[in-house]
């Protein structure tokens, strides 16, 4: 069956769909020796696809990891400012195989999923699927009811009004569940209602809770059915 080349690359476990599209646009992908264009079709049974000159062969095994990202790490394969990356927390044999699903800010800690499964990445990344992401937030000021209600109803940001969120409090922490993933969204929502975030931790992605026994910097293997 013919498949679009970007889908083929991500299903083979070489890169996420978005990254595969970048490789194609920058002319690093060939099909049978000819430079590929976005949307070109390939026949996995007979076509030879290369990325950066290396032949794509489907991954022998899909890998799914939950990592507890510590603060002070970037979610990126490399950093121009030479800060520590979450990939440095993985052994070398895994580091080169997986990519991150979504991101967390440098100062945010908590649950991050890493995989080489392009379909799962796509399913989790697509906003239409509305996968919950829950965060535990500590703020400098004590939140009042009207601020909590404002967070629930939606906050006007330069990128648009946020969708309704679930918000609850326990002890001195606020728990917010959103299903969007705009840049620094939680911090910007809180700042929009007059609250300063002093600690931000992701504690759940859809079904998957941050495992209680996973210390910052540790990771563990999980199954896709733990997430979706
Ligand atoms: N919202 C933020 O502000 N930062 C994150 O890292 C994740 C969600």
Domains 3-55 and 64-126+209-227 agree in fold: no
Fold annotation for 64-126+209-227: Alpha-Beta Plaits (3.30.70)
Q: What is the pTM of this model?
A: 0.91
> CA-to-CA distance for 184 and 186, rounded, in angstroms?
6
Report CA 152 to chain centroid distance, whole Å: 23
> What is the per-residue pLDDT for 60?
79
Report strand pairing: 197-205 vs 109-115.
parallel
Q: For residue range 58-102, what is the model confidence (pLDDT) as tens digits? A: 887 999 999 999 999 999 999 999 999 999 999 999 999 999 999
127 pLDDT more than 80? no
Give the residue-averaged pLDDT of 163-175: 97
Query: How confident is the model over 106-132, as a mean pLDDT?
Result: 93
pLDDT tens sequence across 193-216:
999 999 999 999 999 999 999 999
The percent of residues above 90 in pLDDT, for the chain, comes to: 91
pLDDT at 20 over 80: yes
Alpha carbon distance 208, 133 (integer Å): 10
What are the boundaries of each domain within the chain? 3-55, 64-126+209-227, 132-205
**Measured distance CA(151)–CA(21) in Å, rounded:** 35
3-55 carries CATH number 3.40.50.1820: no
What's the CATH architecture for 132-205? 2-Layer Sandwich (3.30)
* Site to substitute for ligand 1 among 75, 109, 135, 197, most atoms within 8 A of C-beta: 135
- Predicted confidence band of residue 52 (pLDDT cuts 50, 70, 90): very high
Q: How far is the CA of 107 from the centre of ligand 1 (A)?
A: 9
């Amino acid at each position: 069956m013919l498949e679009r080349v970007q889908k083929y690359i991500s299903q083979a476990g070489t890169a996420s769909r978005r990254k595969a599209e970048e490789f194609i646009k920058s002319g690093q992908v060939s099909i049978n020796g000819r430079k590929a264009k976005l949307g070109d079709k390939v026949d996995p049974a007979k076509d030879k696809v290369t990325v950066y000159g290396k032949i794509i062969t489907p991954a022998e095994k899909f890998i799914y990891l939950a990592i507890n990202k510590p603060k002070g790490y970037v979610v990126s394969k490399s950093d121009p400012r030479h800060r520590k990356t979450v990939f440095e927390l993985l052994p070398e044999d895994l580091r080169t195989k997986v990519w991150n699903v979504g991101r967390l800010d440098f100062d945010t800690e908590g649950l991050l999923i890493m995989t080489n499964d392009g379909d799962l990445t796509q399913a989790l990344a697509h906003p239409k699927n509305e996968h919950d992401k829950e965060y535990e937030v500590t703020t400098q000021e004590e939140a009042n009811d009207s601020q909590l209600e404002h967070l629930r109803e939606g906050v006007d940001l330069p990128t648009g009004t946020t969708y309704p969120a679930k918000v609850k409090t326990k002890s001195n922490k606020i728990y917010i569940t959103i299903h969007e993933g705009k840049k620094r969204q939680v911090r910007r929502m809180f700042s929009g209602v007059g609250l300063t975030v002093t600690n931000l931790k992701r504690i759940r992605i859809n079904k998957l809770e941050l495992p209680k026994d996973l210390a910052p910097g540790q990771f563990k293997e999980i199954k896709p059915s733990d997430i979706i």
